[in-house]
Every structure is written in C-alpha cells, then in structure tokens.
Chain A
Amino acid sequence: MTQRVAPLFRMWAVFLKETVQMRRDRLTFAIMFGMPIIQLILFGYAINLNPKHLPAALLVEEQTPIVRTLVQSLESSDYYDFVLQTADPMESSDLLARGEVTFVVSFPAGFTRELVRGERPQILIEADASDPAAASGAVSQAQQVLERALRHDIKGPLAQFGRAPPAFELVVHQKYNPEAKTSYNIVPGLLGVILTMTLVMITSIAMTREVEQGTMENLLAMPARPAEVMLGKILPYVAVGAGQTALILIAARVLFDVPFAGAFWILLLGVSVFVIANLSLGFTFSTIAGSQMQAMQLTFFYFLPSMLLSGFMFPFRGMPAWAQTLGEVLPLTHFLRIVRGVMLKDASLAQLQSPLLALCAFTLVVMTVAMVRYRRTLD
C-alpha cells in the first residue's frame, strides 16, 4: 500500500518545493502573469486591422462650400483625421515623407468651377503605401464616401452633381510602394525586429552569467569600472549587429527586391544608434535580472510589445492613442521610421531627425539606469 503511493508523495514533495521556489522568484512570477495580461490587452484592443482615424493633411487651394462638404464627409467617415490644412504642396508632401500623416488629400484650384461645369475635376489622394495595410481601408472607402456626400448633402440647384456618373474623378497615388507589396514594408522592418531580439538577448546575460559562474567576485576584485565593463561587453556585439544588418539588406535586395531609395549613410547612422540602444538595454536587463533565466524572460517580455506596438506588425497610425504613446517609447518604432524612411521614401537626414534623437535619448536613459544598477560589491 505505502509502496504504491510513494510516487505520489514524492511528486507532492516536488510540487511543494517548486511552489516555494516559484514564489521566491518574484520576477519570473510577475512575468508569468504579466505576459498573458499584456498579450490580451495588445491583441484585444491595440491591434486594428482596419485602421481608422489615420492622420491626413488637406491640401486645398480654394475654400468653397462644396469643398468643405466633401472634406467634412471624409472626416465623418472616421477614416481620415485632418491634422493640417495647407495650401503649400511642399509642406504636405514633407509631412507624408516623415510619416506624420498617412494621406494628403488635395483639391486643386478651380475644383468647384469645374464641378459645376460638369468637367469631372480630380480629387487627389496621395497615400503612404510604404505600409499598405494602413492605407488600403481608407482609400477604398473614399470613392463611396465622396459620392454619397455629393448625393445627400448637396441640395438645391447643385443636387444634380450627386448623380451618377460621379461628377469628379478620384485619383489615388500609392506613394513609395506603388504596387502595395507588403514585403517592402515587412523586410526593412524585419531588420529592426531581428536586431532587437538578438542583441537585447545576448547582452541581457552579460552580468548574470558572471554572477552564475562565480566569476563576478573576481571581476569585482579587479579594478574595472562599471562603465568600462558595460562598454566592453557591448561593443563586440556592435560588430555582430553590423553583420546581421549586411545579411538582411542583401536578402532584402536579392530575395525580395526591396528598393533602396535613399542614402546609405543615413541608414548606417540609424542602424548604429539603434544597435547601441538595444545592446545597452540588454545590459541594463542583466543588471536587473538575478539569473540568466530571468534575463531571457525580461528580453522576451520586452520583445512582445516591440513587435506589436512599433508599427512592425500593424500600422502605427492606426493604433489607439495610448498604444501609440507606448510605442513611442520603444526604439523599434523609431528605427522603423528611419529604415522605411530611407529605403522606401528617400527621406533626408532632417526628416529623420526626430527618430534619431529619440534613439539617442533612449540609449542615454538606459545606460544611466545600468550604471545606477551595476553592482560594485557582492552584497
């Protein structure tokens, strides 16, 4: 009888031991519960495959009741949020290149007059198709929305313009990625994702490994300063990051035919800052985690929002405001703006100034945390 239940007792003993150990390991515990919660929130609320309220710029060269009505109708369709109205085409196309707006809607001068004469004037929608998913929903709705506006909202003598065939011609320019190939969007993004995953992971075990292998005592007994240790541990991986970058860029060209529109040196600058940002973050994790296992978990914990909130998987501008705010904190978000900007949009250094500065600021903050957290003694 006792023989038969012995395995149960041993299992119970192990179960209790594991329970105790699990409760001791606060960080792992937190991650085990935090992860599903965050996943639920992100998948459930943040991700929007039919993004609405996308920022748009309005380029109008005349102000008439009909133009206002049409603009109003686009706005109330919930797809377009006009953040700026201008008469300067330079200004609006610059915004598009920076990625601050997803669309520029233009009504040319003389639109109203031509409409009245039945000359079918053009309405131009320039869409940032570097992320095809973001633009498609809004673009496909535009025709219908505008037609309906002419039909219902315009009464009186002008009501005839609402009848078919439409009294205007909608022209859509899919800019930066005219064929709307998702690979153009995904592959440069993948560069950022791969660098994030591997580099953060590798440096996240930098210090924890020393602690676990018992070499920390030796390291601390020798005159190595925290900043020296940090940089010494980070720098070898900058070379690794460079190698990964080369590999992915070659694959982008050879396998996916992704164009490279911009200046290579700007991308190089962006990649360098981004690589250092990730390595410093990993190092900081290694000063926080108590073991290599915890370091890995922290990395994974960080990786998830990076994938989901950076604009890699889902259009950044299509996410709710709070998710965008969170996304702004992630280096990957800024790197995606740089890499897509350079490769697909031929963005200039000035246009990429803010994501570059954001990456630098992130690196500084993270390194400061690492220095504060670095153990100078064994206790």
Chain B
Amino acid sequence: MSQELAIDVRGLVKRFGSKTAVDGVDIQMPRGEVWGFLGPNGSGKTTTIRMICGLLRASEGEGQCLGYDIRSEADRIKSKTGYMTQKFSFWSDMTIRENIEFVARLYRLPHTRKVVDETLDKLGLTHRQHQLAGALSGGWKQRMALAAVTMHDPQLLLLDEPTAGVDPQARREFWDEIHELSLQGMTVLVSTHYMDEAERCDRIVYLANGHKIVEGTVSDVIDRSGLVTFRGEGPDVRHLAKQLKGQPGLDHVAYFGAALHVSGEDREKIRSVLDAHSGHDVAWQEVRPSLEDAFIALMAEAGEDTREHA
C-alpha cells in the first residue's frame, strides 16, 4: 500500500537531550498532492521534515518515504527527494552557476552544461549567473534554491518555509511553480506561516508543541475548530474592540482590515455580548470563520508549550 503514499510515517518522536521537539506525529500523504505544514514557531515542522528525509534520526517511530525506510534507506530517499531548507544553505562564496552546477553534478545529471543553462534560463538568472549566490536578495535566493532542489526531477519536494521574506508577486509565482511541479507528478509538502498559502493546499497538517493537532482540507480544519465568527463593520469598531476583549464567550477579538472579527464557540453567548454593546455604530453579521480564526483558536486550544525545556 505504501507505494501509493509518498510519506507514510507513524509515531515520529524527536528528542534533543531532555527536550521533545516532535512528539508522536503520524503523516500519511498520498503521491501527487500538495500539502501545507503549519504550526507556530518551534512547533516541530522543520524537525519533522528533517526526519522524513533522513537528516535527523528519529528517536522513536518508523515509516517510509517514497517506499524507503526512513531509518535505513536515507541515501535512496535523498536521491529522489528535493529538500529546500528553511535557512538558505547554498554556498554564498560560489556563484549562482557554480552552485547549480555543483547540484547537477552531485545528482549526476547527464549533459550538465545543458541542464544548468536551461535551469538558469528558466530562473531568469542567466545574465547574473556569475554573481556570488550570497549577493542575491532574499527572494532570489529562494528562487535559486527551488530551482536547485527540483533540478534532478525528484518525486517528493519538501519545502521548508520557501516563501519567507518573498514579495507578494514573487510569492504568487512561486506557488504557480509549485502547482506546475505538482501537475508534473511531484508530491509537495510545504511548511508555511501564510494563510493564503495554506488555502492553496490540498490538505493541511497543523502542528503545535510537537503534536499534530488537526489534519484535513481547509474547510475541514475550519469546521473542526467549532468556531462561530461575527464580523463587525462601522466607524466605531476601534472603540468597541477594547471593550469586547476578554468578555465571557468571546475567545478572540481581532482586526481584519477595517473590520472586527469576534469568535467563540457559543453563538448565543456571542450574540448576548454584542447586544449588550449595541450602543455603538457597528453592523454585525455572522460569517464563516477564516482559516486564521481557526488557527488562532487551535493555537489557544493547544495551550502553553508543555514540552520540557533543556
């Protein structure tokens, strides 16, 4: 069965000394899909990805990646996986071309010269190929990294916050590229903190404190959160926000542009609070909770980081 699954891991645990960074994560990800990997800082996303591609030895748990055992067949996994690290990890003291060439040679791609030329061309970096990679701007570094890790046509792409620090236009192009790669048959697991990116994924895995909290489509996740959200618009929302915060029944009060979202689990309780503050010039309307509302609720539910700190 595992041939159908690109990633099939169970009970992954990673301890660093006395600290448990990842605590019993299961992921069963079918081939050909694009999944989003979300969770607050330090929730264990990077650590999980590293265990999947054999860069970290799991303290507990087992599984396969592309049908290969994550413990004993890391070399095979590496040759069929493209892993883009969270921090830029190409060689700053080598030129863009030299970096790409190095990767092409390590994967022993035939016709190195041609492949490298094509890659640079597709990237649009041909005219800057002799610049040091370290001199690229943040966004361009990310694009170069994506090009480098996809050059060997991997079956699985693991992208760790690939769009951090990338401008909106470039971000959109980045995602177009991801969907393009997915159409070609690549399986893609992307970690991100952006809600709009999460909404572009087939499914979402949400991690908090090293535990998997939810997994599902965007609407699954919103439903699972059990939230009710009211949206208020009007000139007085700013005054009202202060008064509403902390009222019983209102779990979160947050601005969405000029509007105010108040969310909670009990529709009637929210209504009664809003009625009690009806003196203001604000129009209230129940809306479907956004993914962000859901995540904030999930984060609050997950509570304090209870993992032991070394």
Contacts and interface: CB of A to CB of B under 8 A. Distances in A.
Interface stretch (A8-16, A214-222, A233-241): A214-222
Contact of A221 (B16, B78, B87): B78
A373 B16 CA distance: 20
B89 A218 contact: yes
B79 interface: yes
Interface in A257-281: none
B179 interface: no
B57 A379 contact: yes
B78 A222 contact: yes
A217 B89 contact: yes
B268 interface: no
B53 interface: yes
Contacts of B55: 217, 220-221, 377-378
B56 A378 contact: yes
A222 B107 contact: yes
B177 to A, nearest CB: 20
Contacts of A223: 75, 78-79, 106-107
A173 interface: no
Contact of A224 (B16, B57, B106): B106
Interface in A193-222: 213-218, 220-222
A178 to B, nearest CB: 52
Given A378-B55, A379-B56, A379-B57, A218 B90 contact: yes
Contacts of A53: none
Interface string B65-100: 000000000110011010101011111100000000
Given A377-B55, A378-B50, A379-B57, A213 B106 contact: no
A222 to B, nearest CB: 5
B90 A215 contact: yes
Nearest to B57: A377
Contact of B56 (A216, A222, A225, A377): A377
Contacts of B53: 221
A151 interface: no
A376 B87 contact: no
B89 A215 contact: yes
Given A213-B92, A223-B75, A223-B78, A218 B85 contact: yes
B164 interface: no
Contact of B54 (A213, A214, A215, A377): A377
Contacts of A215: 89-91
B115 interface: no
B56 A221 contact: no
B103 interface: yes
Interface string B119-156: 00000000000000000000000000000000000000
Contacts of A224: 106
Nearest to A216: B89
Contacts of A217: 55, 85, 87, 89
Contacts of B79: 223
Interface in B193-218: none
Contacts of B57: 377, 379
Contacts of B90: 215, 218
A111 B85 CA distance: 84
Contacts of B88: 214
A375 to B, nearest CB: 10
Contacts of B92: 213
Contacts of A221: 53, 55, 78, 81, 83, 85
A379 to B, nearest CB: 5
Contacts of B56: 377-379
B182 to A, nearest CB: 20
Interface string A354-379: 00000000000000000000001111
A279 B125 CA distance: 37
Nearest to A379: B56
Nearest to B59: A379
B85 A222 contact: no
Contacts of B50: 378
Q: Which 10 residue pairs are nearest across A and B when measured between Cβ atoms?
A: A218-B89, A221-B83, A223-B79, A223-B78, A222-B106, A217-B89, A217-B85, A215-B89, A378-B55, A214-B89
28 contacts: A213-B91, A214-B85, A214-B88, A215-B89, A215-B90, A215-B91, A216-B89, A217-B55, A217-B85, A217-B87, A218-B85, A218-B90, A221-B55, A221-B78, A221-B83, A222-B78, A222-B107, A223-B79, A223-B106, A223-B107, A224-B106, A225-B75, A376-B74, A377-B56, A377-B57, A377-B74, A378-B50, A379-B56
